[in-house]
Amino acid sequence: MSRPAPSLYRLYVRATGLLLPLAFRTVAGKLRAAGVSEPRIRERLGEASLPRPEGPLIWFHAASVGESLSVLTLISRLGERLPAHRFLITSGTATSAVLVGKRLPPRTQHQFAALDAPGPVARFLDHWRPQAAVFVESELWPLSLVETRKRGARLALLNARLSDKSVRGWSRWPETARFVLDQFDVMIAQNRDGAENLRAMGADPARLTLGVNLKSTSDPLPVDEAALTAFRAGLDGRPLWIASSTHEGEEETVLAAHRRLLERHPDLCLALIPRHPERGDAVVRLVAQAGLSCARRSTGEALAGQQVYLADTLGETGTWYAACPIVFLGGSLREIGGHNPFEPAQAGAAVLTGPGYFNFSETFAPLLAQGGAVEVRDADSLAAAVARWLTRPEELQAAREAARGLVASRQDALERIVDTLLAALGLEARA
């Protein structure tokens, strides 16, 4: 099925071997800075820190947090259909390891991904011996793909999303692009643009199919009931809105909107959830510069009476969503691409977004059209949208119901993806 390896691929293999010491030094430094242990850091060299379980194993590889979390529900569904199979998730970041580790489905383990170089890939495959491998979104690591297929595993590209920039880069080397894509038995694009980009790169149309954004099919985020109860007690009945997954350059707009809202709703609280909690100190300074009082989750400060609650921790977003039906999603006031609106929608919230949600355009389009989300552009429009939902509960309820309805419609799509993977990867239940 696969074409002979082109010369550029052979050059890539030699180059990755030579550059491995430098690459490992770089990634190891980042993991050490995040507090990852040395045995786990060496997983990046393909040295497993866990034993391989008995029985057939399916390997999922995702780059970072969003991609890793998006496959957890899918793995759970596959586990129900394949009760004798085990699952392995690999990713590259310390944050993804922490969050995935808290939510691993049954019979599932996590490891850091082996660097795409001959030694690490060989050690990884010698140990784990996957029956099938699923690469998520844009994870096209040529050596890992080719060597996994050589070992007899079938491969899938899931939730495929390649940017126009990536496609232009690959198009400079069409023979190599076709060779890499030929490793996959099936490619499931998350939208029509993704499918067209894969075709432009040389994907075999017979192995290409259209799915949905996998993040829209995930189970709801976990809720810590004790933390939720304590948070509500601290609010003491005050109204609340949330700004979630905000990035550098966005908090200023959110805080300006909150100042406007406080003029009409003086007891209103803002729960501010930065996308990267390590920015907590910088966000605290921004809150102070805006002249607002703040309680900080990571230091255990009391919420009572504070105008802003800075939720600068990992893995608790679901808890805050459960406390409030109005959520602004960041990554959208700047050209970042937005974040997954189905997470707040699953919690029963209506969603606000800036215009820069292009990574989730196919997800936001029906949500906006049906009224489950509203687009804003600046502090004034954000404050106006929040104020409207605060003062018109019937409109807020209609928006929440529209968002929930769209979430429910995506569960059938998940089952179709499961069926597609089972068939394309030759996976069958074993006694």
383-430 pLDDT, tens digit each: 999 999 999 999 999 999 999 888 877 767 888 899 999 999 999 865
Q: Which residue is it, tokens 């060989």?
A: 122
Give alpha helix (H) positions in 82-209: 94-102, 118-128, 142-150, 164-171, 174-181, 192-201
Residue 12: pLDDT band (50, 70, 90) is: very high
Cα 324 to Cα 381: distance, rounded to the nearest angstrom: 20
Indicate if 67 belongs to the active site: yes
- The total number of structural domains in the chain stands at 2
User: Which pLDDT belongs to residue 180?
Assistant: 94
Within a domain: 176: yes
Within a domain: 107: yes
The residue-averaged pLDDT of 343-356 equals: 94
Within a domain: 2: no
Cα 394 to Cα 285: distance, rounded to the nearest angstrom: 37
Token pair listed for 391: 């003062």
107 and 196, same domain (yes or no): yes
Within a domain: 431: no
Within a domain: 323: yes
Per-residue pLDDT reduced to its tens digit, 200-229 = 888 999 999 988 777 777 778 889 999 999
Per-residue pLDDT reduced to its tens digit, 248-289 = 999 999 999 999 999 999 999 999 999 999 999 999 999 999
Q: Which residue is it, tokens 């921004």?
A: 286
Residue 67: pLDDT band (50, 70, 90) is: confident
306 and 258, same domain (yes or no): yes
Cα 368 to Cα 383: distance, rounded to the nearest angstrom: 18
Q: How far is CA 416 from the centre of its chain?
A: 21
273 and 368, same domain (yes or no): yes
Percentage of residues in the chain with pLDDT exceeding 70? Answer: 98
User: Which pLDDT belongs to residue 191?
Assistant: 80
User: Which pLDDT belongs to residue 200?
Assistant: 87
Residue 431: pLDDT band (50, 70, 90) is: very low
Q: Domain residues for 31?
A: 7-212+411-424
- Give the CATH number for residue 336: 3.40.50.2000
Indicate the average pLDDT of the chain: 92
163 and 312, same domain (yes or no): no
DSSP state of 356: -
Q: Which residue is it, tokens 């980009």?
A: 197
pLDDT at 125 over 70: yes
Of residues 285, 292, 291, 289, the one with CA closest to residue 271: 292
Among candidate residues 43, 67, 250, 316, the one labeled active-site is: 67
The residue-averaged pLDDT of 6-24 equals: 96
266 and 370, same domain (yes or no): yes
Lowest mean pLDDT among 80-84, 111-115, 218-222, 410-414: 410-414
Selected residue with higher pLDDT from 167 and 431? 167
- Give the CATH number for residue 99: 3.40.50.11720
394 and 363, same domain (yes or no): yes
Within a domain: 220: no
Within a domain: 219: no
